[in-house]
A and B are shown apart, each in its own frame.
Chain A
Amino acid sequence: MKRYIATRLGQGLLVVFGAITISFVLASMAGNPIDARYANISPAARAQLLHQYGYDKPLLERYVSYVGGVAHGDFGPSIGSPTGALTRVAEALPYTLILVFAAMATASLIALASATFGAIRRGSRIDAWVRNGFVALQGIPEFFAGLVLVLLFAVVLGWLPSFGATGPASYVLPVIALSLPLVATLTRLLRSQLLDVLGADFVVALRAKGLSERDIVLRHGLRNAGPPLITYLALQLGWLLGGTIIVEVVFGIPGIGSLVVSATRARDMAVVQAIVVVVAVGYVLFNLFADLAVRAVDPRVRSAT
């Protein structure tokens, strides 16, 4: 087990190193932020600013210095802010994590309930309505969903705040907007897994033994359908971590999605690179946890690895 974890972490480090390199190369290709922010300033001011932020050094030297700094947790200074790039990301990250986990939990609970219902009542009219309803939900863009939710629940009804991350109530609408597209996909995945399991020979035996369909689905079906779902959830978590931009901007949530937009506009490339690396680390960790969870749930995986 320890060797398994160490191997996966080693692989993860390679992934993170790749993210560091790729983000550095892409940021360098965009040109130096001083010229982008302050076109045509005096040569003296330009030289001073380039030196201050290290852009007067050769590319390879900057890369080596950057990698060395990252190894010590230093992603460089943030342009226009007195704090370092990693500090800014660290301040923003909790808001995104709250949003992401809340959205994933909400989507998972709804998907679990609807997929279980769909498996038990498969083929019924209600099952068809629910499935078609979720397909429609999946087609709604987050931007549109967010604005409609704000208009309805904040402007017209006045039930919830329209923006910000000031308390639990302010997360309700963004969590709904973020989870809507997930619900449909999760429901379809879980339902198809359940139906696969329900078609297996051992389930025939269970039915022959006299177990109710409800017990079969809840006690045996879900457990067998679990591993692929856990893997999918882990991938989705990683995707969500980097994919909350639209919802955060619409709702004014000061997470890493909003931060990457403002940093890109301000050409604060140190912050952008720090976000890329943090998201990469998130991907690696979520995948590792998913693998460990699958090992815990599925004995076949434990014995194979």
Chain B
Amino acid sequence: MKPAAFDYLRPSSLEEALQQLAAGGDRAKVIAGGQSLGPMLNMRLAMPSVLIDLNDLMELAYVRDSGAFLSIGALTRHAQIAGSALVQARCPLLGQAAKTIGHYAIRQRGTLGGSLAHADPAAQFPLIAMTLGAEIEIARQGGSRRVPASVFFQSAMATALAPDEIIRCVHFPTISVNEGTSFQLFNRRHGDYAIVAVAATVALQDERVVRVRLGLSGVSAIPQSCDGMVRPLLGQLASAAWAADVARAVRAVVTPEDDAGITAVYRKELTEKLVQQALERALTRAKG
């Protein structure tokens, strides 16, 4: 399983990378962590003529507190996010999710930008980005744009990234210390992609749930935000029964499809169970 031959470029700045990408056209591909692209190259599922290696672009590896947002550079590794005290303080959902990505060695190399660009429907970071309403900052030669997650993710493995664009960083809305968070996933084995995953934040006031951010993966081609369907249930007393009600409501509206080995009804059942679990956990954290 050796890759097809490719030319190799190693830019030392984002600007240079963008130039090379533009020049390469649709025969060029960028590589960051390589944990998803590597297998595709080795199995010849992807056969770019030019590979542009982004790993020297240290300017893209950072975690910054911008007040309302936590800005994370695209080249930041999963392990860095998982271990960052700043992430833990300002956006703990990201850290919780990062810890579950693949395995230890994979997390040393895999990057935030790579995960979002790859847009696997079962991946963690796209789900968190969607749940929190993150904005993805995209660079191209001579400019950049900010795209909300709901626009960025278009379909399974398909994003709004143009062939000559590179993700520069992602701005995650921060989570206040009073909010409780939980990330729950269900998979066959430790480290596998999730069959269904749920990300949740809750805020309480006088023991009532006043704010919920709730996202799901595994029931549609792109991660789904459920904030809308939870809205009618806001203002109620925080309790296990409330969590169960929300879970039931979410289950009723999701429309997964049957696929190899996993039925739609199974995904719906998992959804209900995980939403309930995530909300209960988040409520406990919010109270405590």
B partners with A: no
User: Which B residues lie at the A interface, using CB under 8 A?
Assistant: none
